Chains A and B, each alone.
Chain A
Amino acid sequence: MSLLMRQATGRTTSIISFLALLIFLPLFILVVGQTITLLSRAAGTPANIVVDASSRLEPIKTDFYHAFAQGGEESTDMLASVATDIRTLQPKIIRIDHIYDLYQVVGRDGSGLTFDWSKLDAVVSTITSVGAKPVLALSYMPNVIAKDGSVINPPNDWNEWAQVVQRTIEHYSGRGSRNLNGLYYEVWNEPDLAQFGSWKLGGDKNYLTLYHYAAIGANNAANTNTFYLGGPATTGLYKNWILALVNSGNRVNFFSWHSYLSDPKQFTTDQHNLISWLVPFPTYTLLPKLITEFGFTGSKSTAYGSMYAAAHTAAVIRQLISGGPTYLTSFQLKDGPGQADGSGWGLITHDDNGLKKKPRYSVYRFIDEMAGTRLLVTGEGSWVTGFATNRDAVTRLMLTNFDQNGSHSEQVPIKFTNLAAGTYKLRQRFLLGRDTATTFEVTEQTLTTDVFMAAQSVAILELTKQP
């Protein structure tokens, strides 16, 4: 500084000082921000798990997360080439959208609308062949009835939209046709998103009008099995959309929305919010609730190809294992083309990329091992969460360490209480990892151990009393 002051004019010194300030001030703010982030990350609570082995809560449901979606990546029967792998997932439902625009269902001739189900039928047949029921997102507007031919526009004649919906339901739920029972028909897909029309709750592109005429079509459908009509299939859970549907007076058989949330606990918050909105409407409170797409981000990400996605899925399932939705639908089954960098949402890579299974593919069946009656667990932490069950006299504890920021690991103390005296085998199985077993002698009702949970890991501890 003294050199600068000796060899430069005051004006030059001021300019240099100003430039230095311009450069270093943003850097300083960045460093402060990073420090705060790191400090806040470290401020979480480590887990200290206690499992009451003698408690008995409710039987857990494992069906709800065996739900999958496939986006409109290609206008072919994308799932056919991975049917065997999908069947292994034991899916209960598989949701598809783009059913009208990708598969050219609706046409027009001199006498009115015509319907060609052949391409969509092929996709639906693949879905039923793997043991699942299709969930059909009634989207998008067939171009032959749409204003300006745009598939995200309203129709020129709303009655034609009602007719399209009626014929769709009669074709798949009709006793004289495909004869499928218990199908969900979801009105549109992400109507609030500009990409899919930016529908509002009023104005020219009113979702409630779209829904109203879909409901007319559904009510006109004749000779059908039981089916469900619902929505609004928005990009998130929005109170005004849910209550608008409730207050619309239209037929509503289920509520649906999408959840792309990196914080698993937000899924619990959403459930609480939804029930608090619906409880003043007793005839709607108990309707099925479907998260028809979920993930940690709606954007493409290479993390979908890593253990990050698997741990996130396990953490979300843990949050919803009690009091969860009817279905939690993972998006999506298979990558689209051109995603060789691994950024696709799929559980399985595209045909062009070898149809490889990503870590998330394995998490569903892994957690199925937890089927049983839920036990009392306390001491979950900010990163490590879990739940416990008992089935066939075996106590199981599922743990997942999911860190949104990607690096937290933890040595987790674990205590099983209220055990009968005797010898126990404790097996530790990690998703796509090690599988070890240790023998313990329990004399005072308690077994204490610990387990190292690496970042983004999922484990099941299995405690079996030896004869």
Chain B
Amino acid sequence: MTHVLYQTDGIIFRLDAKLRTVSSSIGEHSLLPTPQYSIIMGTGMKRIVIIVVSLILLLAIPASVFLTMKNQELRKKAAPATTLSLTPATITKAVNEEFTLEVHMNTADNQIVAVDLNISYDPTKLEAQWIHNGTMFPNILTSGVVGNGTASMALGAANTTTPITGTGTVATVKFKALAATTAPISIRFSSDTFVGALNEGSTNALTSSTPTTITIGSGTGTAPTATPTGTIIPTPTGILTPTLTPTPEASDSATSSAVTIDSPTKNESVTSEQPTIEGKAPAGTTVTITIYSDPITVTVTADANGNWSYTLAKPLVSGPHTVVVAATDPDTGQSHTATLAFVVATGSENGASGSAIPVSGSTENTIILLSLGTLFILAGSLIPHIRRSHT
């Protein structure tokens, strides 16, 4: 009885079980003596090996799936989530009165490298006198500049290996009230305020900001004094507990007065390269829409019902995208931002995975590959055993 064992390069190897030889077109080869063969490839030993390998695979597959999911979860956690707020949120001052505001940051899960801070105000009502860094960022990247209705400063971490995380005071700004207001006005973060974070690429990690609303009374307040109300002494600790008016916290879910993105939905795979982005914002507000990673910025106006929409004029490349929508409530002056990840799944070159977070692999592929590997190992282990049983 002979079996074809292997064929390559025109040479066919045949097993003669009776004679315990292997013959080929280039000669005849002896097999090992039966006793040695049995010792090396004993049936009992083979079963043990198969069981052990199977057990290892049974453990490895769920472990791999778990680790892959964990990895994806970590990536999702790094999505833009940083908030900035000016505190106190509401103040009332008299003409000529001076006051300071603190810029607070909550990095959420982001690892912040730098912040380019731009604050705007009505220069006919207010005068910014100075802006200085707070305790949260040790590295002054650009000096504080005030004037013409803006106060600007850029701050950074000491280096990229020690990014900033947590909550604290980014900067302090001193103002003087110049003229009375007929209605509350706001001091707010300009749209070009940018927070750069590791693992965020060129996406602005800032998702929302809270302004200060100020009312300036017509009565003359305390005359400007040369004696500041306090000293500015940086402390070495990175975390500061605000003692002023509590800051409205950023929320993942937009409130009725905030801007929302209703379509596409979070992490949705859209089949159009030019999807329509829709949402809600306070009626009549200008909504700024920025689509990353190749930034496309457009503005639309929310209609009387607060609905807004925009259909992309140019096709997006297949793959994950992030849309950031910002609007300022005309009544409160409060800035609202909403961020949403979606996937354009029209092409095949990027292998869109259904997640807006770029991933290096997918759970399904991992399972398929591991299963195939298991099959190969099992097949490789079982085939010699089957062949022996035939002899």
Contacts and interface: CB of A to CB of B under 8 A. Distances in A.
Contacts of A378: 129-130
Contact of A418 (B141, B153, B197, B227): B227
Contact of B145 (A268, A279, A282, A415): A268
Contact of B116 (A55, A275, A286, A321): A275
B140 A58 contact: yes
A204 B110 CA distance: 43
Contacts of B196: 279-282, 285
B156 interface: yes
B114 interface: yes
A285 B228 contact: no
B132 A285 contact: no
B137 to A, nearest CB: 11
B204 A376 contact: no
Nearest to B226: A417
Interface in B114-171: 114-116, 129-130, 132-133, 139-145, 152-154, 156-157, 159-160
A114 interface: no
A271 B152 CA distance: 12
A311 to B, nearest CB: 20
A272 B113 CA distance: 16
Given A276-B154, A280-B204, 6 more contacts: A58-B133, A275-B154, A279-B196, A280-B196, A281-B196, A418-B231
B331 interface: no
A323 to B, nearest CB: 4
A322 interface: yes
Interface of B: 113-116, 129-130, 132-133, 139-145, 152-154, 156-157, 159-160, 192, 194, 196-198, 200, 202-204, 226-228, 231-234
A56 B231 contact: yes
Interface string A21-63: 0000000000000000000000000000010101111100000
Contacts, number: 103
Nearest to A283: B160
A445 interface: yes
Contacts of B160: 282-283, 286
Given A280-B202, A281-B202, A417-B226, A286 B130 contact: no
Contact of A285 (B141, B227, B233): B141
Contact of A282 (B132, B143, B200): B200
B143 A268 contact: yes
A54 B116 contact: no
A103 to B, nearest CB: 36
A58 B234 contact: yes
A361 to B, nearest CB: 26
A282 B141 CA distance: 13
Interface residues of A, number: 33
B135 to A, nearest CB: 11
B116 A276 contact: yes
B1 to A, nearest CB: 63
A339 interface: no
A285 B113 contact: yes
A286 B226 contact: no
A282 B198 contact: yes
A301 interface: no
B190 to A, nearest CB: 11
21 contacts: A54-B228, A55-B232, A58-B140, A268-B143, A272-B145, A275-B114, A275-B154, A279-B116, A279-B194, A281-B202, A283-B113, A286-B114, A286-B141, A320-B143, A323-B140, A323-B144, A376-B130, A376-B228, A417-B227, A418-B227, A418-B231
A446 interface: yes
B226 A55 contact: no
A148 to B, nearest CB: 40
Given A56-B232, A58-B133, A285-B196, A279 B154 contact: yes
A450 B213 CA distance: 39
Given A55-B231, A275-B114, A286 B139 contact: yes
Contacts of B116: 275-276, 279
Given A281-B202, A323-B154, A445 B227 contact: yes
A458 B202 CA distance: 43
A459 B71 CA distance: 60
Contacts of B142: 268, 271-272, 275, 323
A321 B226 CA distance: 24
A441 to B, nearest CB: 17
Interface string A279-294: 1111101100000000
Contacts of A321: 143
Q: Which residue, of A50, A54, A319, has the highest number of chain B Cβ atoms within 10 A?
A: A54
A268 B141 CA distance: 11
B159 A286 contact: yes
A285 B156 contact: yes
Contacts of A322: 140, 143-144
Contacts of B192: 276
A320 B203 CA distance: 29
A268 B153 CA distance: 11
B258 to A, nearest CB: 25
Contacts of A271: 141-143
A264 B165 CA distance: 35
A268 B142 CA distance: 7
A278 B172 CA distance: 23
